[in-house]
Chain A
């Protein structure tokens, strides 16, 4: 999405990215970024919390309007729900499951090869 924002912006359409993967977006470099510090999946606010979603949307419009230079980053003033362990959960590797992960990887590579062959019309 960061590359898409850059392309739109370079062609005259101002953008805001609203997202939770801060390191990836900052690494790429985008015109405007509203950071929501939540688990990946709900960049626009907690599920079921329309008030928060509206406030985040409003912050995005404020940033779209007010930024005066590229790479502006704003952090939305909201925390994730009462779930202190969420930061340690996504993408963590359980040492007990290493062998299973390796098997899943083999399976995935086979599927990728098959999909690649299909795309090449082989």
Chain B
């Protein structure tokens, strides 16, 4: 196993940080007592899997004229080496995101598909914005992504929040 050190309490750190910035209302993270569950319909070796990221394309083409981010997609064939992550909250002092495979491992997945571990990737990978608003994620972005995955006949998805 990795180690015995306690994991970081990001919710508490975030609360304290935003209080220091002068915000009076703490952010409320989503909480559920249960979780939905589905199984692969076919064996993994035959299943088509989609990869999902919270990053943006480098041209920021996922933002509309009002600055609102939307779900976006690019082909997994010849994916860009770099994606835009500067606007996301990650540990910019301890690491970097110059290696796309460290947060969206398309090449690693393709090699496992070639080795027969799973059936293969969908033709596109997809990006989903990280939003303050639970409502936007639940009512707009998640249904938009579901529609894209159904179009590509995805049978499973692996999600990599940065």
| A residues neighboring B (CB under 8 Å) | 1-19, 21-25, 27-31, 35, 37-50, 53-54, 56-58, 60-61, 64-65, 67, 69-71, 75-80, 83, 86-87, 89-93, 98, 101-102, 104-106, 108-109, 115, 118-119
Closest-by-CB residue of B relative to A108 is B21
Q: Is the CB of B38 within 8 A of A9?
A: yes
Q: Is the CB of B156 within 8 A of A41?
A: no
Q: Is the CB of B30 within 8 A of A105?
A: no
Question: Which residues of chain A are near B34, meaning CB under 8 Å?
Answer: 29, 70
Question: Which residues of chain A are near B156, meaning CB under 8 Å?
Answer: 13-16, 64
| A44 partner, pick from B30, B37, B101, B157, beta carbons under 8 A | B101
A121 → chain B closest CB, angstroms: 8
Residue B142 interfacial (CB < 8 Å): yes
Q: How many A-B residue pairs have CB under 8 A?
A: 257
Residue B59 interfacial (CB < 8 Å): no
Question: Which residues of chain B are near A18, meaning CB under 8 Å?
Answer: 158-160
| B residues neighboring A (CB under 8 Å) | 1-3, 5, 7-11, 13-14, 16-18, 20-23, 29-40, 44, 49, 52, 54, 66-68, 85, 89-99, 101-105, 107-109, 111-112, 117-118, 128, 130, 134, 137-138, 141-143, 145-146, 149, 154-162
Query: How far is it, in angstroms, between the C-alpha of A60 and the C-alpha of B160 when the chains are bound?
Result: 10
Q: Is the CB of A40 within 8 A of B90?
A: yes
| A119 partner, pick from B9, B20, B68, B99, beta carbons under 8 A | B68
Q: Is the CB of A42 within 8 A of B103?
A: yes
Q: Is the CB of A29 within 8 A of B33?
A: yes
Question: Which residues of chain A are near B91, meaning CB under 8 Å?
Answer: 39-41, 86, 89-90
Known contacts A14-B40, A54-B108; is-contact A23 B149 (Cβ 8 Å): no
Known contacts A29-B33, A90-B93; is-contact A50 B108 (Cβ 8 Å): yes
Question: Which residues of chain B are near A23, meaning CB under 8 Å?
Answer: 7-11
Q: List 5 A-B contacts (CB under 8 A).
A: A23-B9, A35-B7, A41-B92, A41-B94, A78-B2
Q: Is the CB of B105 within 8 A of A56?
A: yes
Q: Is the CB of B157 within 8 A of A119?
A: no
Question: Which residues of chain A are near B99, meaning CB under 8 Å?
Answer: 42, 47-48
Closest-by-CB residue of A relative to B99 is A47
Question: Which residues of chain B are near A109, meaning CB under 8 Å?
Answer: 22
Question: Which residues of chain A are near B162, meaning CB under 8 Å?
Answer: 40-41, 43
Question: Which residues of chain B are near A15, meaning CB under 8 Å?
Answer: 156-159
Known contacts A15-B159, A27-B29, A70-B36; is-contact A115 B142 (Cβ 8 Å): no
